Structure 1
Amino acid sequence: MSEINVDVLVIGAGPTGLGAAKRLQQTNLASWLIVDSNETPGGLASTDVTPEGFLYDVGGHVIFSHYKYFDDCINEALPQESDWYTHQRVSYVRFQGGWVPYPFQNNIAVLDPEERARCLEDLVDAALEARVRAAADKPRNFDEWNIRNVGNRLNEIFMRPYNFKVWAVPTTKMNATWVGERVAAPNVKLLVRNAVLGKVAGGWGPNSTFRFPAHGGTGGIWTALAGTLEAGRTRFGGERGTVARVDAEGRKVHLKDGTVVKYGSLISTMALDQLAEAMGDTKLQQMCKPLFYSSTNVVGVGIRGERPERIGDKCWTLFLTKAGRPQLYFVEDNCPFYRATIFSNYSPNNQPGPDVELATQQLANGEKPATDGKAGKKPGPYWSVMLEVSESAYKPVRHETLLADCLRGLVATELLAPGDEIVSSYVRRFEHGYPTPSVERDGALAEALPHLRDKGILSRGRFGGWKYEVGNQDHSFMQGVEAVDNVVSGGIELTLNSPDFVNSRSNTERRLAHFGGLRN
């Protein structure tokens, strides 16, 4: 049995763990090690490649940033202009056989007159009720937040069913503290004006413009960033990087290959519930019981041919260096997915080149091609669509028919024609997909995170901190950075503890200073 001694041990090489490792290397004030069970870093921001050469992210990731420090680090990893494509977001919602510009609640001008009038009536009622509501009267849950902000009708036809499709949990069981910049609260006067004039609202959201790597998908960012770390400080893949047990009292982590890592402080990016199991901490396990999460099923479909104009005309405009963000949202029941990303538009390297010859596996309507095997191989071009399907006890998924169900949904929503040739398919399930901002979440975290801190453990990241509102790649990376600053010198962890400030426009960028000592 070998033994390693470090000041700081980092578990997990997703964005949070890599942020911590990068900061530890930069400060050079503590000995450290980062471990991960996967050979390839990236965690929930990684990218898979099918045997046919199609790339699929673990979900619909894009890079947009609240932090200059984050920008500096990824620009160091991918420094060339040719390393990136820049895209402009133009997204739509599929509704009643047509397309409504995103966000839906800001664009009721495109609905039919009767539906538009019903939505406006309820919006006005909600605005009038808000004027006389006491400031201390906060919504009890996300469903109530929606009713107060968009009115009953918009909640009924869009907010409630769509969010159930995304989160796989009723909106009545979600809190409203996470909303921040994630959900658009309509400007009622502007919305009424647009509805009268039949005008579509402009772009909305923090990621209206974003960058995407030219090569390797989103995971390419994190592979490149991990490549800037000292090789002797990383243990990735197999038993040498897999945690078997966490001995919090002895401040030791036992790896599956028999190595024991003794640490002064532990920064864990494991899911909180999984960390509790690895620790054998029954008290922490009890604290984690109120935490809820949904699983994510990612389905990828590679198609032979040019991307059809029927999609381009209805959904986005493609520019030379600025491509409309090809993300589409689905509220209705004629498809199992809530989001479709035309992943081939993010980078031309996300699919095989047009000269690559591939066999047709099936047609979009499920029929077998006339020829198959080697004799049926033909060249491209190719394009691809990536779908996301949520899952929970409230919303089960039939895994054995998921691909077929998604193909039927693609035809039903007119993203595919029945005779389109499918040359590649990809299905992968992620147990921990979305950390749900449930009504009970904040109370559970208020107990669990201090309990771990008392034991010298900082649990951070998308599922380590369990705060979706600061679970994007930039947020997660900075949770790791700020955790190190806290360990090293007692620095404030703004991202985890002040999500509203971090996501607000008043958050003017600050660069992190170097520190002069190691915290006891």
Structure 2
Amino acid sequence: MKTKYLIIGAGPTGLGAANRLRELGMEEFIILERNNYAGGLATSFKDDAGFTWDIGGHVVFSHYDYFDNLMDSLLGDERLEHQRESWVRSNSTWVPYPFQNNIRHLPPEARWECVKGLLPGHRNEETPTNFAEWFDHIFGAGIAKHFMQPYNFKVWATPPELMQFNWIGERVSVVDLKKVLKNIILEQDDVAWGPNNTFKFPLYGGTGEIFRRLGERLKDRTEFGQSVVAIDPDAKKVTTDSGLTIEYEVLLNTAPVDILAGKWLSNRDAALIDAAGDLTHNSVYVGGVGLDIRDESERNSRCWMYYPESDSPFYRVTNFHNYSPNNVARPGEQLAFMCESSFSEHKPEKVDELMDRTIEGLVNTDMMDPARVKDICTKWEIAVDYGYPVPTLKRDGALRTIQPRLEEKDIYSRGRFGGWKYEVSNMDHSVMQGVEWVERMLKGTPETTYSWE
């Protein structure tokens, strides 16, 4: 089998690229997908009880007109728009997100620790060299202690001392002492910050419905159930575990680039293998817990909640029943808590015990009354090896070693794990990495979303 453009992976980046190729009149492409469905980490699943679950808390918001138009063509009016309402569980109470702007909700002693850390002379004035030092430099010791340090270890499963902070950009609200004090004294909240303060969600089928529909457009060019095992960049051949061999002219990889550079390439050398070894990821367990609503007090308006403390294994819980009423089997009559926990060599977890610990955590954090445990009507779980690409101190150097050497051989690696840049791995970023790669190949237009330099 031969093709001009070969795409590894039918996730958001691979599908975005293939769709753009077709839009521009290029039909010489093939997608290889290891699963028997499209979507990758943006896939949704329906359990035996009729509940729909995502692989984590995906929401649709965008920085791009192209992506917005694509969503219009795929979903039309079959989507809902929400005003984000998110909270942090800290010191056995609820603090509106972003935490640092709303510390007035904390108990007095914790509130004072956070304010004290912001006062002149209390923050570390030296230029930070890692993420942990950045906490103290920007937020002070109190906010670092009560939220930033424990939460970030919980989500990344990597010590913040091993992470850089240059990736942050619009993802973390910095802090303004004057605003913090004003909010405390006037007893007002500051909750509208961030690029996802409003977001959209499919009316049916979860996030995966977006990519199911996009994948349907491209199924005639997709080979499902094909896991790549080897790439010969000199002969320009890819081989799968079923023995399928495809010759290509240009390759777009959206699978984890550490696997490509460290295992699949036939002529990899020590430098590539070492660089691949410098890329770090966490793993993520998603536990879905469903139950019937007992009374109206259980139906709240929150979208998702963050959990920095140790009384629960999860770092985030999404009220998935609020994203769409159709995410539960009986709309309006059931609750769906979607809970995410991370694990790694730095933060090991016994995955087979995480569902029980998840339920305990829901009770411990007042998400569920202890008497309701017996009323749980469904439990759904999935553990994914590659959850988030971690922006470690070694990441950028590794990418500067890997990416130019791949591109010299007409191999381009893009997407959440193909490009390994967490800061440009939202859903819209991921699709646009594929789109912009195509426009570079066919029209010579520079890519703007992704850069390894």
Question: For the structure 1 residues 405 and 129, does the alpha-carbon distance in structure 2 shift closer, same or farther, using more than 3 Å as the test?
Answer: closer
CA distance in 2 between counterparts of 1:55 and 1:262 reads 39
Count of residues in correspondence between the two structures: 448
Q: How far does the alpha carbon of each residue in 1:407-465 deviate from its partner, in whole angstroms, 9 at most, with x for none? A: 11111111111222111111211000010000111111111111111111000000010
Question: For the structure 1 residues 307 and 474, does the alpha-carbon distance in structure 2 shift closer, same or farther, using more than 3 Å as the test?
Answer: farther
After superposition, where does 1:113-512 map in structure 2 within 5 Å? 113-125=108-120, 137=127, 139-229=128-218, 231-236=219-224, 238=225, 241-276=226-261, 277-280=263-266, 281-283=268-270, 284-306=272-294, 309-310=297-298, 312=300, 316=301, 324=302, 326-353=303-330, 381-420=333-372, 421-497=375-451
Partner of 1:106: 101
Helix, strand or coil at the partner of 1:254? strand
Choose 217-226 or 253-262, whichever is displaced more: 253-262
CA distance in 1 between counterparts of 2:371 and 2:11 reads 39
CA distance in 1 between counterparts of 2:401 and 2:108 reads 50
CA distance in 1 between counterparts of 2:121 and 2:174 reads 12
Contact 2:284 2:343 in 1 (8 A): yes
**One-letter identity of the residue aligned with 1:390:** S
Q: How far does the alpha carbon of each residue in 1:232-262 deviate from its partner, in whole angstroms, 9 at most, with x for none? A: 32222x2xx3323211111111233333211
After superposition, where does 1:48-87 map in structure 2 within 5 Å? 48-79=45-76, 81=77, 83-87=78-82
Choose 156-165 or 270-279, whichever is displaced more: 270-279
Choose 147-156 or 302-311, whichever is displaced more: 302-311
Helix, strand or coil at the partner of 1:340? strand
CA distance in 2 between counterparts of 1:386 and 1:95 reads 19
Distance apart, 1:308 and its partner CA: 5.4
Distance apart, 1:127 and its partner CA: 8.6
**One-letter identity of the residue aligned with 1:65:** S
CA distance in 2 between counterparts of 1:432 and 1:191 reads 37
Distance apart, 1:307 and its partner CA: 6.7
Contact 1:271 1:463 in 2 (8 A): yes
Distance apart, 1:128 and its partner CA: 7.7
Contact 2:396 2:452 in 1 (8 A): no
Q: How far does the alpha carbon of each residue in 1:120-142 deviate from its partner, in whole angstroms, 9 at most, with x for none? A: 22212369876xx7xxx4x2111
CA distance in 1 between counterparts of 2:31 and 2:191 reads 44
Choose 251-260 or 211-220, whichever is displaced more: 251-260
Question: For the structure 1 residues 307 and 407, does the alpha-carbon distance in structure 2 shift closer, same or farther, using more than 3 Å as the test?
Answer: farther
Partner of 1:507: none
Q: TM-score, normalised by structure 2?
A: 0.95
Helix, strand or coil at the partner of 1:298? strand
Helix, strand or coil at the partner of 2:282? strand
Contact 2:89 2:305 in 1 (8 A): yes
Contact 1:311 1:415 in 2 (8 A): no
Helix, strand or coil at the partner of 2:85? coil
**One-letter identity of the residue aligned with 2:348:** P
CA distance in 2 between counterparts of 1:125 and 1:437 reads 30
Partner of 1:369: none
CA distance in 2 between counterparts of 1:469 and 1:412 reads 32
Question: For the structure 1 residues 311 and 103, does the alpha-carbon distance in structure 2 shift closer, same or farther, using more than 3 Å as the test?
Answer: farther
CA distance in 2 between counterparts of 1:49 and 1:30 reads 33
CA distance in 2 between counterparts of 1:58 and 1:478 reads 21
Q: TM-score, normalised by structure 1?
A: 0.83
CA distance in 2 between counterparts of 1:87 and 1:46 reads 21
Helix, strand or coil at the partner of 1:419? helix
From the CA coordinates, give the structure whose radius of gyration is larger: 1
CA distance in 2 between counterparts of 1:340 and 1:33 reads 37
Contact 1:8 1:32 in 2 (8 A): yes
Distance apart, 1:482 and its partner CA: 1.1
Contact 2:239 2:246 in 1 (8 A): yes
Question: For the structure 1 residues 311 and 304, does the alpha-carbon distance in structure 2 shift closer, same or farther, using more than 3 Å as the test?
Answer: closer
CA distance in 1 between counterparts of 2:130 and 2:222 reads 42
Helix, strand or coil at the partner of 2:63? coil
CA distance in 2 between counterparts of 1:413 and 1:435 reads 28
CA distance in 2 between counterparts of 1:308 and 1:97 reads 23
**One-letter identity of the residue aligned with 1:409:** G
CA distance in 1 between counterparts of 2:186 and 2:335 reads 37
Gaps of 5+ in 2: none
**One-letter identity of the residue aligned with 1:290:** D
Q: Cα RMSD over matched residues?
A: 1.9
Question: For the structure 1 residues 126 and 455, does the alpha-carbon distance in structure 2 shift closer, same or farther, using more than 3 Å as the test?
Answer: farther
Q: How far does the alpha carbon of each residue in 1:104-161 deviate from its partner, in whole angstroms, 9 at most, with x for none? A: 111112223333233222212369876xx7xxx4x21111111111111111121001
Contact 1:253 1:262 in 2 (8 A): yes
Helix, strand or coil at the partner of 1:192? helix
CA distance in 1 between counterparts of 2:145 and 2:207 reads 35
Show structure 1 runs of 4+ deviating over 4 A: 126-130
**One-letter identity of the residue aligned with 2:317:** A
CA distance in 1 between counterparts of 2:340 and 2:123 reads 38
Question: For the structure 1 residues 115 and 305, does the alpha-carbon distance in structure 2 shift closer, same or farther, using more than 3 Å as the test?
Answer: closer
